[in-house]
């Protein structure tokens, strides 16, 4: 029987995924035998040391690279089909805005990039800028914005077309702690507003635990799953929760696992 893929399938599913790179005649196993499944609407954080394959995992889901072996499904489809249907939004660590375009024109950029289905989506560029807290900044150029504001523009752009999946590769890694905290809270707000499934890469234990409903912990060399941890913190979360003993104990447990990664 043919399953109704998009209704019943997990948002993201990896089965035995391995990725090997050839570099300078040396073979690097970036990911080895990765399997996990993510329900629609979940916020998953991906935590692990540098070089454990976090970015590679995101690129495999986004159809930027193909796995050497194993199977990836995004909303029950091949990643390529999901990408063509514009089901996937991607936010990178460094803001990838075009310097000569205003904030709103940067958000609209995907409308002008060919390939794939026509852009749908209930929220226009202006509404998305408001959603990320940048109402009134539509005409500003990237150089007139702070690092945190530029990342907000990148998030608004990734949300154009209502993607069901949002992939974020250390999006706040280059920001100061205060800005990062604020954006963490705003991202949780956006997640609740949009219902998007989020896969968020970080190497911060606190960020992983604060944001994620689940934390996928990866070990390095080769990159493999160390543990999937469910985070049972009360919802909705607020930054003050990080001062509680409960959160401290949780962070301590994650740190102990990370030391074996």
- Which residues here bind ligand ADP, judged by CB under 6 A? 21, 23, 28, 30, 48, 50-56, 223
24: left (phi over 0), alpha (psi -120 to 50) or beta: left
Q: Which residue has the tokens 């800005």?
A: 179
Size, binding site for Mg ion by CB under 5 A? 2
Q: Kindly state whether residue 196 participates in binding Mg ion, applying the rule CB under 5 A.
A: no
The partner in contact with residue 58, picked from Mg ion, ligand ADP, none with C-beta cut-offs of 5 to 8 angstroms by kind, is: none
Q: Cβ closer to ligand ADP: 48 or 89? A: 48
Q: Cβ closer to ligand ADP: 221 or 241? A: 221
Give 46's strand partners. Answer: 201, 216
Q: Cβ closer to Mg ion: 54 or 150? A: 54
The partner in contact with residue 148, picked from ligand ADP, Mg ion, none with C-beta cut-offs of 5 to 8 angstroms by kind, is: none
Q: Kindly state whether residue 18 participates in binding Mg ion, applying the rule CB under 5 A.
A: no
Q: Kindly state whether residue 45 participates in binding Mg ion, applying the rule CB under 5 A.
A: no
Shortest Cβ 177–ligand ADP spacing (Å) = 21
Shortest Cβ 122–ligand ADP spacing (Å) = 33
The partner in contact with residue 28, picked from Mg ion, ligand ADP, none with C-beta cut-offs of 5 to 8 angstroms by kind, is: ligand ADP
Q: Kindly state whether residue 184 participates in binding Mg ion, applying the rule CB under 5 A.
A: no
Shortest Cβ 76–Mg ion spacing (Å) = 27
In whole angstroms, give the CA distance from residue 190 to residue 131: 7
- Look up residue 100 and give its two tokens: 């000569």
* Residues whose CB falls within 8 Å of the CB of residue 70, separated by 6 or more in sequence, listed in order: 14, 15, 16, 17, 18, 33, 34, 35
Give 59's strand partners. Answer: none
Instruction: Say if residues 164 and 138 touch (Cβ distance below 8 Å).
Output: no
* Residues whose CB falls within 8 Å of the CB of residue 12, separated by 6 or more in sequence, listed in order: 37, 38, 61, 72, 73, 74, 165, 197, 199
- Look up residue 58 and give its two tokens: 């995101």
Query: Residues 50 to 89: which contact Mg ion by CB under 5 A?
Result: 54-55
Shortest Cβ 5–Mg ion spacing (Å) = 30
Instruction: Say if residues 47 and 215 touch (Cβ distance below 8 Å).
Output: yes
By CB under 5 A, name the binding residues for Mg ion: 54-55
């Amino acid at each position: 029987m043919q399953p109704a893929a998009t209704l019943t399938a997990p948002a993201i599913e990896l089965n035995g995924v391995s990725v090997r790179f050839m570099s300078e005649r040396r073979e690097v196993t970036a990911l080895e035998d990765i399997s996990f499944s993510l329900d629609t609407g979940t916020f998953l954080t991906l935590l692990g040391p540098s070089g454990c394959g976090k970015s590679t995992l995101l690129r495999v889901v986004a159809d930027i690279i193909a796995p050497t072996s194993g199977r990836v499904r995004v909303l029950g489809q091949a990643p390529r089909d999901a990408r063509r249907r514009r089901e996937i939004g991607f936010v990178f660590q460094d803001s990838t805005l075009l310097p000569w375009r205003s904030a709103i024109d940067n958000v609209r950029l995907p409308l002008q990039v060919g390939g794939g289905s026509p852009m749908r989506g209930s929220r226009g560029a202006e509404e998305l800028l408001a959603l990320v807290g940048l109402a009134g900044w539509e005409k500003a150029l990237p150089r007139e914005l702070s690092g945190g504001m530029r990342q907000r523009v990148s998030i608004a752009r990734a949300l154009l077309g209502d993607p069901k999946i949002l992939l974020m590769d250390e999006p706040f890694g280059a920001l100061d702690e205060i800005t990062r905290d604020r954006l963490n809270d705003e991202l949780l707000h956006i997640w609740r507003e949009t219902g998007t499934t989020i896969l968020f890469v970080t190497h911060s234990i606190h960020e992983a635990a604060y944001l994620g409903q689940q934390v996928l912990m990866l070990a390095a060399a080769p990159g493999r799953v160390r543990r999937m941890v469910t985070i049972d913190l009360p919802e909705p979360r607020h930054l003050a929760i990080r001062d509680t003993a409960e959160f401290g104990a949780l962070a301590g447990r994650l740190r102990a696992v990370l030391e074996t990664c």
